[in-house]
Amino acid sequence: MEVASRPDVDQGAPRWPKISERVPLHSTTMMPLSELPSLLWAHYIEYLWDYEPGSWVYTSASTFRLFAAFIFTPLALLVMLASL
């Protein structure tokens, strides 16, 4: 059975469209309040989930990963030594 290729996956296209493509930066019309959760979710996905390398989110995530490794490793060793 042949699997159909998906052009969005094969070409490396992003899974979610960028928020700047969906919502104009300076809109002259008022946005309905009911669209606020969708807008917040789109911003969350674009800036905090699918962050760009070199952005402040990338730097913060890398820093916290290093902190976690430095904190976890000695604690794990102490627990293993204490269980002997």
- pLDDT, tens digit, 9 for 90 and up, residues 30-45: 778 888 898 889 888 8
Is residue 21 situated within a structural domain? no
CB atoms within 10 A of CB 21: 10
pTM across the whole model? 0.48
Is residue 76 situated within a structural domain? yes
| Rg, the chain, Cα only | 21
Is residue 79 situated within a structural domain? yes
Is residue 3 situated within a structural domain? no
Under 8 Å between Cβ of 51 and 57? yes
Our count of domains for the chain comes to: 1
Q: Which residue range(s) make up the domain with 64? A: 51-84
pLDDT reading at 6 higher than 90:
no
Q: What is the CA angle 61-8-62, rounded to 5?
A: 10
Is residue 66 situated within a structural domain? yes
